[in-house]
Amino acid sequence: MNRISNRIFKIFFTIGGFLGFLGFIPKTNGEPNYLFFLFFSFFSFILYEKVNKRISHEKLLKNKAIASRIMQAYYMITIFVILFLLDRNLTKDIPLLAGVILYTLSFYLHPLLILWLNQKNNRSFI
């Protein structure tokens, strides 16, 4: 049963990731459709699977906690950038696009940070 649910999970997230390409299709009134680019974050499940396949031990849990703290700072900077862009009375597309890009990147940065910290710690013992 676990195998079947894992395959359904992979299919769902793969289809969700490909929905990001709908962002290249403009809306009916001709405006850009940037919000669909958020669906590209579904492809990050590949990295999360890689992290979750590793044996959960104390160092991995410590690396997850460190990566989460770093990501909290990243989210605060992201919020500041979006609010700063909104305050500058720019067109609505610029803060929207910046927010979508920074938010989607966060889904990739968290597992990459965990993997990088884990790899960095494993090298120091060799």
Q: pLDDT tens across 8-44, in order?
A: 777 887 888 888 888 788 888 888 788 788 888 888 8
Give the integer Cα–Cα distance in Å for 103 and 74. Answer: 10
- The terminus-to-terminus CA distance of the chain in angstroms comes to 39
What angle, rounded to 10 degrees, do the helices at 45-53 and 93-124 form? 20
Most confident of 49-63, 69-83, 89-103: 69-83
User: Rounded distance, CA 8 to CA 76, Å?
Assistant: 34
Model pTM score = 0.75
Q: Would you list the domain boundaries of the chain?
A: 2-124
